[in-house]
Structures are given as structure tokens and as C-alpha cells.
């Protein structure tokens, strides 16, 4: 279970995730975001075995430093190859030979890549080997994905600075962790993907983001409260006359 978010910003992409790894009834903490090269990172939701097999494939890929645009199909092929290799060792595979969707469902996975060279780019790859560019908007994957879409939708077409995007990513994952019944957990990892300076933010920076997110959350509630006070103090009737609804 996972939540990974990629938010494009004015000069890069913010890539963030929770860090809970769930295996059956047991939870642990782990890394979900990996460096592809100096300009790009990747992360995936789904089965750990599948993600590990993809990471192994990637380690053997000599062109991993090339732009995503150049290696998109190679990456997609390696995702598909990882899925196939999982199915090859799974005894259940024989029962679903004529049902490809059910086969893919045996080892679920969803892969996101973020890059910034001349401009921010987000690439989404499915285990069936297809890929799509996510153009001009955020992307999310994992069981917390719907929460991310609900919380981020209002910012979908807005230009964000890197600081704003980091704050939003942090806040959304933090709020999703509070709400989702299982599978998501702290700490929250945040990466800045910028031209040649891709890095994970330090724990101190992450703490400062957490405190900024707390202020923002308090301020959202405060804003609503102040609207209420203004309404009580205004001359506008609290309820509109009948027929004006």
C-alpha cells in the first residue's frame, strides 16, 4: 500500500511518498522513491516483489542516464518483463492463461517517473507495458491515490513554485495517512527533481515542511471560522429569502 505523488512546479517536479511497506498484517518502513539518474527519479505502488524485479532490471539497463523521452519504451519493456518474470514463478499463472487481465492482477504494479531537463516531465507506466506522459498536471499512484486527486484537484492548472509544490505534496500525503484505514504511514519522503540537482530533502527540511503544513492546515480552519464571524456580523441575511435559491 502506498501513496506517491508527482507535482510539476515552475522549475522542476516534486516527487513525494509515504514510507510504509505492508506485507500481510505486518508493516515496516521503507524507501519508495529511487534515483534513476541526475535528472530523474521513479517510484511505484503495488507488489514489492514486482517492484524489486523491476529495480533489478533497471540496474542492468545501460541507458538509464538518457532522457525519459529516449528510453520510455525501454523502461516500459522492463516493467512488462518484471511482471512476466513474476508470473513465470507463480503457480497460479497456469489457471489464468486465457485471462490476461486476471494474470496482470496477480502481481499489481503502477510506475511513475519524474524528470526535469529542459522542462518538468512525468511518465506513467502500467504493468501491461503501456506508457503515458502526464501533461501539465500532477500524478498519483497507490491506494491513497483518490485522496490525492481530491485534495490536489483545485491546484491542477495552477503554476506552483518548488516550495509550494513541496508543501502541497507533504500536506496531502500527511492528510491521507490520517484518513486511509491501512497501508500508509510516516515518514514522508520528498524529492526535488530539478535540472541536474535531483535530491531528497534533508530530515530538517522535512520537519520544516511538516510545520509549514501544520500552519497551513490551521489557517484553512481559521479562514472558515473568520468567514463565519463575518457572516454573523454582516447585514446580509444568514438565509436567503425564499425563491432566491
Partner 1 sequence: MRVTREQEAQIIAALQAAPLDRIRLMKTIFLAWHRGGRREGPFHFQPYMYGPCAFDLYDALADMEQRGLVVQAPHPVNRWGDYYLTEAGKQAATAIPSDVSLAMEPIARWASTQGFRPLLDAVYREAPEFASKSILRAQEAAR
Render 130-147 in DSSP notation, one character per residue.
-EEEE-SS-EEEETTHHH
CA distance 64 to 37: 7
State the minimum distance, in angstroms, from the CB of residue 218 to partner 1: 5
What cell was used for 152?
490536489
Residue 179 in contact with partner 1, rule: CB under 8 A: no
- Where are the extended beta strands (E) located within the chain? 3-9, 12-17, 20-23, 26-29, 33-37, 40-46, 109-116, 120-126, 131-134, 139-142, 189-193, 199-200
Residue 167 in contact with partner 1, rule: CB under 8 A: yes
φ, ψ for residue 25 (rounded to 5)?
-95, 5
Going across the sheet that includes 199-200, the strands are 139-142, 3-9, 12-17, 189-193, 199-200
**Cβ proximity to partner 1, 157 vs 203, nearer residue:** 203
State the minimum distance, in angstroms, from the CB of residue 88 to partner 1: 40
State the minimum distance, in angstroms, from the CB of residue 217 to partner 1: 9
Whether a cis peptide bond, with omega within 30° of 0, leads into 121 is no
Residue indicated by cell numbers 520528498 = 190
What cell was used for 49?
516483489
Which of 92, 197, 214, 231 forms a contact with partner 1 (CB under 8 A)?
Answer: 214
Q: How many residues bind partner 1 (CB under 8 A)?
A: 24
**Cβ proximity to partner 1, 75 vs 167, nearer residue:** 167
**Cβ proximity to partner 1, 146 vs 215, nearer residue:** 215
Residue 178 in contact with partner 1, rule: CB under 8 A: yes
Which of 215, 227, 228, 230 forms a contact with partner 1 (CB under 8 A)?
Answer: 215
Which of 67, 129, 187, 195 forms a contact with partner 1 (CB under 8 A)?
Answer: 187
State the minimum distance, in angstroms, from the CB of residue 170 to partner 1: 11
Phi-psi region of 183 (alpha: psi -120 to 50; beta: other; left: phi over 0): left
State the minimum distance, in angstroms, from the CB of residue 227 to partner 1: 13
Residue 162 in contact with partner 1, rule: CB under 8 A: no
Residue 222 in contact with partner 1, rule: CB under 8 A: yes
Tell me if 114 sits within 8 A of 192, measured CB to CB. no
**Cβ proximity to partner 1, 197 vs 225, nearer residue:** 225
Residue 205 in contact with partner 1, rule: CB under 8 A: yes
Window of 8-16, 66-74, 77-85, 202-210 that interacts with partner 1 by CB under 8 A: 202-210
Residue 229 in contact with partner 1, rule: CB under 8 A: no
CA distance 231 to 242: 19
Site residues for partner 1 per CB under 8 A? 163, 167, 174, 177-178, 186-187, 202-205, 207-212, 214-216, 218-219, 222-223
Amino acid at each position: 500500500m502506498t501513496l506517491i505523488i508527482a507535482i510539476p512546479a515552475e522549475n522542476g517536479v516534486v516527487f513525494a511518498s509515504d514510507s510504509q511497506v505492508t506485507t500481510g498484517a505486518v508493516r515496516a518502513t521503507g524507501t519508495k522513491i529511487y534515483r534513476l539518474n541526475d535528472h530523474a527519479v521513479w517510484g511505484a505502488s503495488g507488489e514489492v516483489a514486482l517492484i524489486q524485479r523491476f529495480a533489478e532490471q533497471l540496474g542492468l539497463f545501460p541507458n538509464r542516464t538518457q532522457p525519459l523521452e529516449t528510453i520510455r519504451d525501454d523502461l516500459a519493456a522492463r516493467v512488462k518483463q518484471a511482471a512476466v518474470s513474476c508470473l513465470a514463478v507463480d503457480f497460479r499463472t497456469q489457471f489464468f492463461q486465457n485471462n490476461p487481465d486476471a494474470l496482470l492482477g496477480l502481481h499489481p504494479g503502477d510506475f511513475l517517473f519524474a524528470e526535469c531537463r529542459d522542462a518538468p516531465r512525468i511518465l506513467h507506466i502500467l504493468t501491461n507495458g503501456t506508457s503515458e506522459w502526464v501533461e501539465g498536471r500532477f500524478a498519483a499512484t497507490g491506494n491513497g491515490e483518490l485522496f490525492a486527486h481530491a485534495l490536489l484537484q483545485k491546484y491542477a492548472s495552477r503554476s506552483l513554485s518548488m516550495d509550494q509544490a513541496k508543501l502541497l505534496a507533504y500536506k496531502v500525503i500527511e492528510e491521507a495517512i490520517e484518513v486511509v484505514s491501512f497501508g500508509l504511514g510516516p515518514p514522508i519522503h520528498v524529492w526535488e527533481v530539478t535540472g541536474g540537482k535531483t535530491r531528497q530533502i534533508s530530515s530538517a527540511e522535512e520537519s520544516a515542511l511538516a510545520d509549514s503544513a501544520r500552519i497551513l492546515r490551521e489557517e484553512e480552519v481559521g479562514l472558515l471560522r473568520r468567514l463565519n464571524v463575518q457572516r454573523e456580523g454582516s447585514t446580509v441575511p444568514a438565509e436567503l429569502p425564499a425563491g432566491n435559491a
